[in-house]
């Protein structure tokens, strides 16, 4: 390698490698780690890996929970975290974000100018990894997925060439990268639009588990409203943990354009009316504060996984999810330090239309198929002996939710990559047309299939 790499016994190797979001990735030991701080070095690394037919891992913020998404046993890992930079253009209309950045620094840099952008809700997550998987933002109601807002990707292809992908230059690659993840090259920079932003309204309200049906009803009404508020954003979580004393219902509520703490925004009033309330952090705060707060709810290096599906709204189905959840977790409640949650997030018809209006992406969601509700299952636990049964329980619960949705004619094909487990068929969920398109784009920009065969992490196109 002509670019310096950290070998296993080098100072700093262990620290760098043991810094993923989950233990599953920390437990993998690559042969070496390259930390390029320039785009030219990324290109050289790719050229040399192609030349040697070497397998590589590509690591951004390291927050994909499942094993091997961004780390690779006994192989080279290209760790993008040294390629940093958040630059606002002179007109202050666009921010360029380098591949090593996380959302926290992006928002802090923009806040200094009174600006924000469409990005992740948790400061510690990698900016480019999240965007390449679609990306849900506090501002998705108005703008669609994070990937829809990108105006340019700078990419190192398998040839080592550094290219731009935007509406006019390599437009097919541009479309493919909006949800196509690491299948086409290593992205070294993205450009996103900025907008002025003051304080947000938001925070969390905590309720007993028995409040869940009220929250589910509010969610159903919200997501099916003919005129959903584009500035509102919410997550409904139902969780169980022995250490919390059993079940809790938690609402995370946000609004980008509302100025009084009490009363909150009218569009969220059915949620804020839910009683009893055990706790509330509703307030006005900056995007930097809210995303840092969200970041403080999880720690690195634990046993923590994501699984997902999408359903269409139906009150009985949503209420019934609680019973499916209770039944599923009963046999595993003895697992040490288990906290098991199911999180429901609305994708309004308006959000999905705005996504379609922004231009084609890889996700293959028909513009008029919404609204959807994203279902995220998130177990956290502490002992490796429980891994298998917790994974199986989570997959079974996903299957049970899918079956219940199918029985009501409320199933949705799309799987949100950023919350998917490694065995879930994410690219397939984009639909045949999108899959064929992505394969064609791969054939054009990576004819030997390097990013298919030699970059095994992530969700692949299934062509080699």
Does the footprint of ligand FAD cover residue 176 (CB under 6 A)? no
Does the footprint of ligand FAD cover residue 133 (CB under 6 A)? yes
Does the footprint of ligand FAD cover residue 377 (CB under 6 A)? no
Closest contact distance (angstroms) between CB of 395 and ligand FAD is 18
Does the footprint of ligand FAD cover residue 310 (CB under 6 A)? no
Closest contact distance (angstroms) between CB of 429 and ligand FAD is 16
Which residues between 271 and 300 bind ligand FAD (CB under 6 A)? 298
**Which residue of 30, 36, 104, 129 would you call a contact of ligand FAD, by CB under 6 A?**
129
Integer Cα distance of 461 and 459 in angstroms: 7
Running DSSP on this structure, what letter comes out for residue 217? H
Does the footprint of ligand FAD cover residue 192 (CB under 6 A)? no
3-state SS, one letter per residue, for the chain = CCCCEEECCCCCHHHHHCCCCEHHHHCCCCCEEECCCCHHHHHHHHHHHHHCCCCEEEECCCCCCCCCCCCCCCCEEEEHHHCCCEEECCCCCEEEEECCCEHHHHHHHHHCCCEEECCCCCCCCEHHHHHHCCCCCCCHHHHCCHHHHCCEEEEECCCCCEEEECCCCCHHHHHHHHHHHHHCCEEEEEEEEEEECCCEEEEEEEEEHHHHHHHHHHHHHHHCCCCCCCCEEEEEEEEEEHHHCEEEEEEEEEECCCCCCCCCCHHHHHHHCCCCCCEECCEEECHHHHHHHHHCCCCCCEEECCEEEEECCCHHHHHHHHHHHHHHHHHHCCCCCCEEEEEEEEECHHHHHHHHHCCCCCCCCCCCCCCEEEEEEEEEECCHHHHHHHHHHHHHHHHHHHHHHHHCCCECCCCCHHHCCCCCCCCHHHCHHHHHHHHHHHHHHCCCCHHHHCCCCCCCCCCC
Does the footprint of ligand FAD cover residue 70 (CB under 6 A)? yes
- Binding segment toward ligand FAD, per CB under 6 A, in 118-126, 196-204, 207-215, 354-362: 118-126
Does the footprint of ligand FAD cover residue 125 (CB under 6 A)? yes
- Binding segment toward ligand FAD, per CB under 6 A, in 115-123, 161-169, 346-354, 384-392: 115-123
Does the footprint of ligand FAD cover residue 143 (CB under 6 A)? no
- Binding segment toward ligand FAD, per CB under 6 A, in 10-18, 63-71, 377-385, 395-403: 63-71
Integer Cα distance of 418 and 131 in angstroms: 9
Closest contact distance (angstroms) between CB of 244 and ligand FAD is 19
Does the footprint of ligand FAD cover residue 160 (CB under 6 A)? no
What tokens appear for 331 in the block?
């046999």
Does the footprint of ligand FAD cover residue 378 (CB under 6 A)? no
9 versus 297: smaller Cβ distance to ligand FAD: 297
135 versus 265: smaller Cβ distance to ligand FAD: 135
133 versus 371: smaller Cβ distance to ligand FAD: 133
Sheet holding 56-59, edge to edge: 5-7, 32-34, 76-79, 56-59
Does the footprint of ligand FAD cover residue 415 (CB under 6 A)? no
Does the footprint of ligand FAD cover residue 109 (CB under 6 A)? no
Does the footprint of ligand FAD cover residue 80 (CB under 6 A)? yes
Q: Which runs of E-coded beta strand occur in 143-255?
A: 152-156, 162-165, 186-196, 200-208, 232-241, 246-255
Closest contact distance (angstroms) between CB of 260 and ligand FAD is 26
Which residues between 207 and 266 bind ligand FAD (CB under 6 A)? none
What tokens appear for 347 in the block?
């994708």
**Residues touching ligand FAD: how many (CB under 6 A)?**
33
Closest contact distance (angstroms) between CB of 320 and ligand FAD is 26
**Which residue of 39, 186, 192, 365 would you call a contact of ligand FAD, by CB under 6 A?**
186
**Which residue of 41, 44, 63, 67 would you call a contact of ligand FAD, by CB under 6 A?**
63
- Binding segment toward ligand FAD, per CB under 6 A, in 131-139, 219-227, 265-273, 376-384: 131-139
Is 351 in a helix, a strand, or coil?
A: helix
- Binding segment toward ligand FAD, per CB under 6 A, in 47-55, 179-187, 203-211, 380-388: 179-187
58 versus 200: smaller Cβ distance to ligand FAD: 58
Does the footprint of ligand FAD cover residue 120 (CB under 6 A)? yes
- Interface residues with ligand FAD (CB under 6 A) are 21, 58-65, 69-70, 80, 99, 120-122, 125-126, 128-130, 132-133, 135-136, 181-182, 186-187, 298, 418, 457-458
């Amino acid at each position: 390698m002509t670019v310096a790499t950290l070998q296993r016994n080098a100072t700093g190797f262990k620290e760098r490698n043991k810094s993923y979001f989950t233990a599953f990735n920390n437990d993998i030991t690559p042969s070496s780690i390259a930390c390029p701080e320039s785009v030219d070095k990324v290109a050289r690394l790719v050229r040399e890996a192609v030349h040697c037919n070497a397998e590589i891992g590509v690591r951004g913020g390291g927050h994909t929970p499942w094993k091997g998404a961004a780390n690779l046993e006994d192989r080279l890992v290209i760790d993008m975290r040294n390629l940093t930079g958040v630059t606002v253009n002179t007109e202050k209309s666009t921010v360029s974000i380098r591949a090593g950045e996380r959302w926290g620094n992006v928002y802090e840099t923009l806040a200094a100018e009174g600006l924000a952008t469409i990005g992740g809700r948790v400061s510690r997550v990698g900016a480019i990894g999240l965007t390449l998987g679609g990306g849900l933002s506090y501002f998705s109601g108005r703008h669609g997925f994070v990937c829809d807002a990108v105006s340019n990707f700078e990419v190192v292809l398998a040839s080592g060439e550094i290219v731009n992908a935007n509406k006019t230059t390599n437009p097919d690659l541009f479309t493919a990268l909006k949800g196509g993840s690491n299948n086409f090259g290593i992205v070294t920079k993205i450009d996103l639009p900025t907008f002025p932003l003051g304080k947000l309204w938001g925070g969390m309200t905590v309720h007993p588990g028995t409040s869940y049906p009220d929250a589910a009803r509010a969610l159903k009404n919200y997501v099916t409203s003919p005129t959903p508020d584009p500035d509102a954003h919410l997550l409904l979580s139902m969780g169980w943990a022995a250490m919390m004393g059993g079940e809790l219902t938690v609402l995370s509520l946000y609004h980008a354009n509302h100025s009084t703490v009490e009363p909150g925004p009218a569009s969220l009033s059915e949620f804020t009316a839910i009683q009893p309330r055990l706790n509330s952090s509703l307030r006005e705060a900056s995007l930097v504060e809210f995303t840092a707060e969200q970041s403080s709810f999880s720690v690195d290096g634990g046993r923590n996984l994501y699984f997902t599906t999408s359903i269409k709204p139906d009150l009985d189905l949503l209420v019934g999810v609680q019973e499916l959840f209770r039944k599923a977790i009963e046999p595993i409640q003895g697992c040490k330090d288990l906290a098991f949650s199911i999180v429901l997030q609305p994708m309004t018809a308006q959000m999905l239309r705005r996504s379609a209006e922004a231009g084609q992406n890889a996700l293959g969601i028909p513009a008029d198929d919404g609204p959807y509700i994203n279902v995220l299952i998130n177990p956290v636990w502490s002992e490796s002996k429980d891994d298998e049964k917790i994974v199986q329980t989570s997959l079974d619960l996903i299957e049970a939710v899918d079956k219940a949705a199918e029985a009501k004619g409320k199933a949705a094909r799309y799987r949100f990559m950023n919350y998917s487990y490694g065995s879930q068929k994410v690219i397939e969920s984009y639909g045949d047309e999108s899959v064929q398109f992505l394969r064609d784009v791969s054939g054009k920009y990576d004819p030997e299939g390097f990013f298919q065969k030699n970059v095994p992490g992530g969700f692949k196109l299934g062509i080699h």
